[in-house]
Structure 1
Amino acid sequence: MNDTSYINWIAMSDNALAQTIGAFVKHHRLSQNKTQEEVAGAANISRSTLSLLEKGGTITVPTLLQVLRVLDLLYIMEVFKIQEQISPIELAKLDQQKRQRARNSDNDSNKKSDW
């Protein structure tokens, strides 16, 4: 790919991925002008655990979620949302089942006119 912003996530090691996540957390913490103590206290974790996270160390998913919540970064969870996708064939079948025109009901045609 010619796009220089492209990152091959699959080719990255687990350690490199953890460091990328840690850098993301640290960047957003600093952009919000929050200290490690403030974020760690609000997330109910130790400062050393937050430091470990920011350096790409091993932490638990709940710990990561607590930090993301404190930093108002839970919007990134949107990528994990499962969306039902309908196949083109199913879409065509549903489209065929739609009403194409309106017609009078049988009861209306049996009524006698007052004329």
Structure 2
Amino acid sequence: MNIAQLSDMAILRMIGDFIKKKRMDLNKTQDELSTEAGISRSTLSLLERGEKVNLITLIQVLRVLDELQLLEVFEVRQQIRPLDYIKLQKKYERQRVRHSDMAAEDPIPPLEW
């Protein structure tokens, strides 16, 4: 199935069907799941029918169904470009510091006992 060809309403119905199937697989009633998710039963019913609900509602239900991993595709991972990585490495490389005025001074005399 090419999801890009589906209408928004078809995608909402698909999400609703997924939520309903997962709820039933866990052998939970709408009352039980909605209570655990902190939403009303009518809101859960709307979600399962593919009606419009708040995004936070979907997150709450997915959390109770232990399906939050589905949202990992939205994580933005910062990647460093190879040239920037090399620059960072050079910045933090340990460098030997030698002051020109210290090189001209006599070494510290030994302590006398």
User: Does the pair score TM above 0.5?
Assistant: yes
Deviations 1:15-68 (A, max 9, x none): 001011111111111111111000011111111111110010010001111111
Matched pairs, number? 104
1:1-115 correspondence runs (5 A): 7-86=1-80
Larger Rg: 2
Query: Equivalents in 2 of 1:66, 1:87: separation in Å?
Result: 36
**Structure 1 stretches (4+) deviating beyond 2 angstroms?**
84-94
How many Å apart are 1:93 and its aligned residue? 8.4
> Over aligned residue pairs, what C-alpha RMSD do you find?
2.9
Aligned residues with identical type, % of pairs: 50
How many Å apart are 1:85 and its aligned residue? 3.7
- One-letter identity of the residue aligned with 2:34: A
How many Å apart are 1:84 and its aligned residue? 2.6
Structure 2 residue ranges without an equivalent (≥5): 89-113
Deviations 1:69-111 (A, max 9, x none): 11111111111111234557767989xxxxxxxxxxxxxxxxx
- Alpha-carbon distance change, 40 to 85 in structure 1, aligned in 2, over 3 angstroms: same
With the length of structure 2 as denominator, give the TM-score of the two structures: 0.69
With the length of structure 1 as denominator, give the TM-score of the two structures: 0.68
